[in-house]
Amino acid sequence: MAHIVILGAGVGGLPCAYEMKEALGKNHDITLINERDHFQFTPSNPWVAVGWRTQDNISVPLASILEKKKIQFIQDRVDKINTKDNSLELKSGQAIRYDYLVISTGPKLAFEEVPGSGPQGYTASICTTEHAVNAYKKFNEFIKNPGPVVIGAMPFASCFGPAYEFAFIMETVLRKKRIRNKVPMTFVTSEPYIGHLGLDGVGDSKGMLESDLRNHNINFITNAKTTKVEDGMMYVDELNDEGELKKQHELPFSYSMMLPSFKGVDAVASVEGLCNPRGFVIIDKYQRNPTFTNIYSAGVCVAIPPVSTTPVPTGAPKTGYMIESMATAIVENIKSELEGKQPHARATWNAICLADMGDTGAAFVALPQIPPRNVTWFKKGKWVHQAKIGFEKYFIRKMRKGYTDSIYEKFILGTLGIKKLE
């Protein structure tokens, strides 16, 4: 009997645990370790930050559901991974041994790379639901005394969609409150152009998103290297395409939300031979670390190369569809190994996403993720906003019940009318 430990109960780890149990049944032990006692549906965080959702709406308590599924749950933080004796050291002092480890720890949010940024500083964040709850508190203060807003993404960010979503969602809320006229808005991004999205664009994302920003009176600065933030003031170096300084900006703000640089979490990044220099887990085509072959990884914590080199560093996004397929491949491969066979399953590295824009939305498909592509389109419409609400309900319901089948594959592909990707 093998012990499979899944580290992290996010969009990657929780479905992976359910699917692993389904695949391996009673024959093997499965343990899920997560520092929080609940799962958070991260894609809904922008809605929490404007009060359209509460934390409870988008959270799933883990203990009772996992007990029913006969998956052991430990609410604790893993502080050290000992690859020599295949064990984990937890914050509580407990030690856990594993035969196979699946790392799905998401990102470390590296606010420290830009002094003054982040919830401990002067900018809000929507990266965790707790951050989004705090962002909403700040937002409520802000609307009593509105002024300039700066929203965007800092150097080494690898997830740009939520920054655009939040800008358009906030713009919608301000319009509905009839105070938009008091709020100059600026979108500040490390992307080389609007709509790059860490993917070197998808279809006409550049033209469409630029046009949307203009239509919504949102100014923008690209190739933006945010260097520091002070109370009410953001300092930004705008670079040219050669990476040289083009202009320095001092942007006053009454409210700001900036996505930070993503890195690997400390417990993972500190394991010698496991990660790239930014702390992301190196994996082969079967999601398995080449040095420690009993360690697999899925989600934002895996190392994938940037789609293109940009004057201000940016990373490639890892979106839900791709993450789900990574988890499914891991389950297949660990099952194969336990049956004495070789791992063979591979994830689908395509970017497919529904992005909300307040009262409308944008859907994109980039297949494969790195251009030139076989399929590339970017479409807008109110139907995307509705589809995203439907998807949120569907995903959270599945998590509460103990998901066992492909959520993204069924819902997103179904919504977009795509039968099969490859």
In sequence order, the 6+-apart residues with CB closer than 8 A to the CB of 75 are 33, 34, 35, 36, 37, 62, 63
Among residues 24, 323, 363, 384, which is the contact residue for ligand FAD, using CB under 6 A? Answer: 323
Which residues belong to the active site?
159, 353
- Does position 58 interact with ligand FAD (CB under 6 A)? The reply is no
33 binds ligand FAD (CB under 6 A): yes
In Å, the largest CA–CA distance within the chain is 66
For residue 14, the minimal CB distance to ligand FAD (Å) is: 8
Binding mask 330-359 for ligand FAD (x = CB under 6 A): -----------------------x------
Listed residue (53, 420, 371) closest to 196, CA to CA: 371
Choosing from 320, 343, 358, 361, the residue that interacts with ligand FAD (CB under 6 A) is 320
Q: Is 9 in the site for ligand FAD (CB under 6 A)?
A: yes
Pairing outcome for strands 375-380 and 361-367? antiparallel
Q: Least Å distance between CB 180 and ligand FAD?
A: 23
Closest to ligand FAD by CB, 239 vs 347, is 347
Helix (H, G, I), strand (E, B) or coil at 218: strand
Least Å distance, CB 22 to ligand FAD, is 18
Pick the stretch among 32-40, 185-193, 227-235, 369-377 that binds ligand FAD (CB under 6 A): 32-40
Q: Judged by CB under 6 A, does residue 34 bind ligand FAD?
A: yes
158 binds ligand FAD (CB under 6 A): no
Q: Does 304 bind ligand FAD (CB under 6 A)?
A: no
- Choose, by CB under 6 A, the member of 66, 159, 218, 367 that binds ligand FAD: 159
Which one of 110, 127, 135, 303 is in contact with ligand FAD (CB under 6 A)?
127
Taking each helix axis from N to C end, the angle separating 382-401 and 407-416, rounded to the nearest 10 degrees, works out to: 160
- State how far the Cα of 262 lies from the Cα of 14, in Å rounded to an integer: 21
Distance CA 394, CA 400 (A): 10
Burial of 197 (0-12, 13-18, 19+ CB in 10 A): buried
Cα separation, 114 vs 406, in Å, equals 38
* Residue 17 in contact with ligand FAD, rule: CB under 6 A: no
Burial-class residue 112 by CB neighbours within 10 Å (0-12, 13-18, 19+).
middle
CA 283, CA 329: separation in Å to the nearest integer? Answer: 12
Name the site residues for ligand FAD (rule: CB under 6 A).
7-13, 33-36, 42-43, 45, 77-78, 104-106, 126-127, 159, 161-162, 265, 267, 299-301, 319-320, 323, 353
